[in-house]
Chains A and B, each alone.
Chain A
Amino acid sequence: MNAVTSQRIARKAAPGPEAWYAQPFALPRFALTLLLAAACLAAGGTRSAHAATSLVHKRAPEFVRTDLDHKRLDLNAYRGKVVLLDFWATWCAPCEVEMPSFVAWQKKYGPQGLQIIGISMDDDPALVRSLYSKLKLNYPVAMGDVKLGDLYGGVLGLPMTFLIDRHGEIQAEFQGEADLGKIERQLQSLLSGR
């Protein structure tokens, strides 16, 4: 039996919140459970599993693409900057949640040397252009492909975000529902050279 199945069965077997009054001392236990659940959420309990092939502490694979503004996008050209490389897609709801923060960070930390780069894993560039305008993205976005996905260890679930230091080495990767606070703290740390 896998973990998901176990969790489902456990959920079915557990008494509902309405059952607390039926037993003495049950309410404090129920309250404690709520508090523990809250603590788990606060600690980022919904973070997804990492990619099968971790690239952390490895040199960021180089690539050159043409961005949506028809400009050359060469990762190597950003050496000396901290790069946040974001794989996303228009159909990916968690991606869309993150992007306003990325826009704000580009504006806030750009002068300190941050460069955000978006790689869309959409099939249709027209949808990407539309969202690019709607969200007023202030960083370059290029269309991804299988080759680029392979370079980054297989982008088989979105969003996927990499933090690359000023020397071109990947220092962190985040997959799935990300803790934006954690990403920002690591970003600040890389910008300040700690």
Chain B
Amino acid sequence: MKFTFVSRPSVAVGLATLVLLFVCAQCPAQFTPLTGPGSADSIPQAQLIQPEELVHMLQATGTGKPLLLQVGSHLLFDEAHITGSVYAGAGSQPTGLQQLQSTVASLSKKKFIVLYCGCCPWNRCPNLGPAFKQLRDLGFSNVKVLYLANNLGADWVAEGYPVERSH
């Protein structure tokens, strides 16, 4: 019988690949992010803003404060939303995108706007990608998106950042 020599590095890579394949097979769909233009992951990194950065911006005095638009669930918005933010329709729904368009209709295309949602984990959010694209398509050039890794509750409310309720 003839044995083929297999180098140790090849064995290591093979083993690691097998382990990864095994792990992935154990957790189907759970780690599958949304993909494509509708995904929050489609938003360029340069357009993201971190929660701490936004908090500092909101606390600063002056005129550089953004218009904050929540583009997710209205019910979750009613429960809690970032102080001063406005509900602008769910980005995943055609009616939501129409509402977003109406909300920004009278604004300058240079207006500093920050979109956020926080309905679910970042790479699962169905609202931010379409909402961001909508504003880009409408010609808005100064749009940022708040990066909430898990959701609004865990990454904003639990951090003690400013929130308010509807009504």
Give the B-binding residues of A (Cβ under 8 A): 2, 4-5, 8, 20, 27-28, 30-31, 34-35, 37-38, 41-42, 46, 48-52, 89, 91-95, 97, 121-123, 144-146, 149-150, 154-159, 175-180
> B92, A156: Cβ atoms under 8 Å?
no
> A156, B157: Cβ atoms under 8 Å?
yes
Q: Which residue of B lies closest to A159 (CB)?
A: B120
> B150, A97: Cβ atoms under 8 Å?
no
Q: Which residue of A lies closest to B20 (CB)?
A: A38
B59 at the interface (CB under 8 A from A): no
A156 CB contact (under 8 Å) in B50, B76, B90, B166: B76
Q: Which residue of A lies closest to B150 (CB)?
A: A48
Known: A46-B31, A91-B92, A97-B30. A156 touches B152 (CB 8 A): yes
Least Cβ–Cβ distance between A81 and chain B, in angstroms: 27
> B154, A49: Cβ atoms under 8 Å?
yes
Known: A156-B80, A177-B121. A2 touches B153 (CB 8 A): no
How many residues does chain B have at the interface if contact means C-beta atoms less than 8 Å apart?
51
Stretch at the interface among B11-19, B61-69, B105-113: B11-19
Known: A28-B12, A91-B73, A91-B119. A158 touches B151 (CB 8 A): yes
> A97, B79: Cβ atoms under 8 Å?
no
List the A side residues contacting B52 at CB < 8 Å: 2
> B158, A89: Cβ atoms under 8 Å?
no
Known: A91-B126, A176-B121. A157 touches B23 (CB 8 A): no
Which residues of chain B from 76 to 131 have a CB within 8 Å of any chain A CB? 76, 78-80, 90, 92-93, 118-121, 124, 126-127
> A155, B121: Cβ atoms under 8 Å?
no
List the A side residues contacting B76 at CB < 8 Å: 121, 149, 155-157
Least Cβ–Cβ distance between B37 and chain A, in angstroms: 16
Which residues of chain B from 18 to 65 have a CB within 8 Å of any chain A CB? 19-20, 22-23, 26-27, 29-32, 34, 45, 50-52
Known: A93-B120, A93-B124. A156 touches B79 (CB 8 A): yes
A31 CB contact (under 8 Å) in B16, B119, B157: B16
Least Cβ–Cβ distance between B166 and chain A, in angstroms: 8
> A146, B79: Cβ atoms under 8 Å?
yes
